[in-house]
Structure 1
Amino acid sequence: MANTVLNDVSLSTGQTQKSKSLPQDLIRRLVWKLSIATLLLMAVGSATRVMNAGLACPDWPLCYGEFVPTAQMNFQVFLEWFHRLDAAGIGFGTMALVGLSLWYRRELPQWLPWASVFALALIVFQGVLGGLTVTELLRFDIVTAHLGTALLFFSTLLIIGCLLLPYQGTGNAGKLTAVSMIAAILVYLQSILGALVGSQWALHQCFESSQLCTVMNSHILGVVPPTLATLTLVVFAWRTSALHPRLRKLANLAGACLVAQILLGVATFYLHLQVEPLTVSHQAMGATLLGTLVCFSTLALRDQQ
């Protein structure tokens, strides 16, 4: 199945270079815009949590029974309202992605409509989880699943976008493909641990009453595997001659994101989550690191064809 998809990608790349397929270019631009909007959505979601705004709108999907709750609007209500507005925009954008991929299916790779439908299924499930976070009063397992699904949706968009990029590999990625995939999986799991820490306020509870310290320490110790895997990827990329420039840039970006993420994590820990922008930046940087590794893995797979 993977070989079929990659063969379709190689064919579509050649067609794009020769005929400048407008439908494929249109869909690729839409996917990248949705990816950026999703990254913003996760950052706003993190801000909503750390600012205790998750229940600022007591009902769902409207806010105080209105599309724009002007009478009740304050900063917390605005965060929750804007989070829902961004999510709705991404939902409509994903429906447009499915519609375009089906309408132009004869001019597109065969896997694209299926991938688009999968992305839509994720966003529908994400919407259900978003509603449950309100109706179930921010239950920690639902909040964690909400972020986990968002990261999976984000990764799906990036995979689609990278598969649609005009790209001619050098065939030198080799073992870097496996290393980057392992690093991406480990970063995703570490993000889930981070979501558990945040959704249960484990850091506060551990410092104040010595509760949930196991959850917090699991996240701290969990830094080690993804850090080692990402550093291995960066070192191997430096040592691999004739590596595609795009892959080399992605490896360097992953290393920079890793350093920034560790620094943000340390600062967040020692400041006891008292500086909200640091906490939001910590989660956003984690998502950026994951996205970088996903893009590297996708292009490295194409590099082998």
Structure 2
Amino acid sequence: MRLFSFKSLIYFTFLLSLCVIALGAYTRLTEAGLGCPDWPGCYGFILVPQSTEQQLAAQQIFPSSPLEVEKAWNEMVHRYFAGSLGILILLINVLAWRRKYAPKLLPAFLLVTVIFQALLGMWTVTMALMPIVVMGHLLGGFITASLLLLLVLRVRQQERKSTAIFSSMLHSPRSSSSYLKVLALGALFVVVGQIALGGWTASNYAAVACTQLPVCEGDWQGNFDPTAFEPIQPVHDSYQYGVLNYHQRVSIHVAHRIGAMVTTAILILLISFLLRTAGLRKYGLTLTAALIVQVSLGITNIVASLPLLVAVGHNVMGVVLLLSIVATNYRIYCGQQILQGSHLFAREGRNHG
């Protein structure tokens, strides 16, 4: 008797990817990204050094990086979960190639993504939290979760293949115009761009550069500095706590703030169409709930000066919002294809009849 079916494995791996994202945010926000100065171990050990002898040995190997046990454990727990995620994605690939009708290309792309994500994790440590690497690592985690969601949806679609032709007549979106398709796809790119801006804000320690609403205090327009967005920054021994000046951090924060306004406006427009389209209303309601929670968390971060749990929640809701958009796009595009296939099937049935 199998412990896990192929579908259950994919579902579990998807949920694990969300845990990894949450742990990654917690690790970053507790300043534990360099809790272990080496990779993949910690001060030369598989586990965080515990005994007095191990801690003395760790201090001799890394004299410039004093061991902080709590931060080291935060970092290593994240690595253990991330490593487990990589192993499960490898297992999904093995099983997919052994199953005749299982998707092959998507699991392979997932495996390539998670391998590159592991490299970004290593470079995050070896390059001492270089912002472009940290932002890329965050995006990699979000992309991994999105690909796993697509795999979940693909497997569900294959599982229902025998009944999809008939049920699609009742449940496929009606009048999903080309405009709606373009709007949904555009919203996806806008959300990804906003997530990247959020990653750039966090990696440059600009999250609390502005403390007033709706945009920022002071003459932020006159002091706006485009150099804050140069991907490659001057070389430093460490980028922890940020290396940019105040005006550069304000520029990044303002860009993220304005990006949030634009993203919200586009999502509200998309939601208004989804709520009026049969078969897509539940996606509109899901997006509405995710957007309200995410905006509320973002405002709370500013007003309350970045509380830890709120900041972690803001990261988690960011991926929830992205996944909602991914699922919406999948439903619009693939649901329309199923509906077209059902029409063709029905027409052929009438011809044969």
- The TM-score bracket by the shorter chain reads 0.7 to 0.9
Is 1:159–2:150 an aligned residue pair? yes
Is 1:198–2:202 an aligned residue pair? yes
Distance 1:213 1:173 in 2: 44
Change (3 A) 1:188 1:50: same
Return 5+ residue gaps in structure 1 as ranges: 1-22
Is 1:62–2:38 an aligned residue pair? no
Letter in 2 for 1:138: L
Distance 1:206 1:180 in 2: 31
Q: Is the 8 A contact 1:183 1:293 kept in 2?
A: yes
Distance 1:260 1:179 in 2: 22
Distance 1:226 1:204 in 2: 20
Instruction: State how 1:5-20 maps to structure 2 within 5 Å.
Output: none
Kindly state the Cα deviation for residue 290 of structure 1 after the two structures are TM-superposed: 0.3
Distance 2:119 2:256 in 1: 27
Q: Is the 8 A contact 1:102 1:113 kept in 2?
A: yes
Is 1:250–2:283 an aligned residue pair? yes
Kindly state the Cα deviation for residue 26 of structure 1 after the two structures are TM-superposed: 3.2
Distance 2:325 2:125 in 1: 32
Quote the residue 2:267 is aligned against: 230
Kindly state the Cα deviation for residue 188 of structure 1 after the two structures are TM-superposed: 1.1
Kindly state the Cα deviation for residue 117 of structure 1 after the two structures are TM-superposed: 0.6
Q: SS at the partner of 1:107? A: coil
**Residues 34-72 of structure 1: per-residue CA shift (max 9 Å, x gap):** 221111111111111111100111110011222222516
Is 1:81–2:81 an aligned residue pair? no
Change (3 A) 1:238 1:250: closer
Change (3 A) 1:100 1:66: same
Distance 1:230 1:209 in 2: 31
Q: Is the 8 A contact 1:163 1:299 kept in 2?
A: no
Q: SS at the partner of 2:174? A: coil
**Residues 113-155 of structure 1: per-residue CA shift (max 9 Å, x gap):** 1111100000000000000000110010100011111111111
Distance 1:279 1:96 in 2: 33
Letter in 1 for 2:96: S
Question: Highest CA radius of gyration, 1 or 2?
Answer: 2
Instruction: State how 1:48-127 maps to structure 2 within 5 Å.
Output: 48-71=27-50, 74-104=69-99, 106-108=100-102, 112-127=103-118
**Residues 215-250 of structure 1: per-residue CA shift (max 9 Å, x gap):** 11000000123212221222112212xx22xx4323
Aligned counterpart for 2:318 among listed residues 281, 286, 291: 286
Kindly state the Cα deviation for residue 205 of structure 1 after the two structures are TM-superposed: 4.8
Kindly state the Cα deviation for residue 74 of structure 1 after the two structures are TM-superposed: 3.4
Quote the residue 1:28 is aligned against: 7
Quote the residue 2:252 is aligned against: 215
Q: Which structure shows the bigger proportion of residues in helix conformation? A: 1
Letter in 2 for 1:218: A
Letter in 2 for 1:223: A
Distance 1:249 1:290 in 2: 16
**Higher mean C-alpha displacement, 143-152 vs 69-78:** 69-78
Residue identity (%): 27
Letter in 2 for 1:116: P
Distance 2:284 2:209 in 1: 37
Change (3 A) 1:204 1:224: closer
Quote the residue 2:334 is aligned against: 302
Kindly state the Cα deviation for residue 90 of structure 1 after the two structures are TM-superposed: 0.5
Q: Is the 8 A contact 1:180 1:229 kept in 2?
A: no
Kindly state the Cα deviation for residue 75 of structure 1 after the two structures are TM-superposed: 2.8
Is 1:131–2:125 an aligned residue pair? no
Change (3 A) 1:173 1:132: farther
- Backbone CA RMSD of aligned residues: 2.2
Answer 1 or 2: higher relative contact order, Cα 8 Å, separation at least 6. Answer: 1
Is 1:187–2:191 an aligned residue pair? yes
Distance 1:144 1:260 in 2: 23
Change (3 A) 1:27 1:250: farther
Distance 1:180 1:36 in 2: 25
Change (3 A) 1:173 1:181: farther
Is 1:143–2:134 an aligned residue pair? yes
Distance 1:285 1:276 in 2: 14
TM-score, length of structure 1 as denominator length: 0.84
Distance 1:194 1:187 in 2: 10
Distance 2:317 2:81 in 1: 19
TM-score, length of structure 2 as denominator length: 0.73
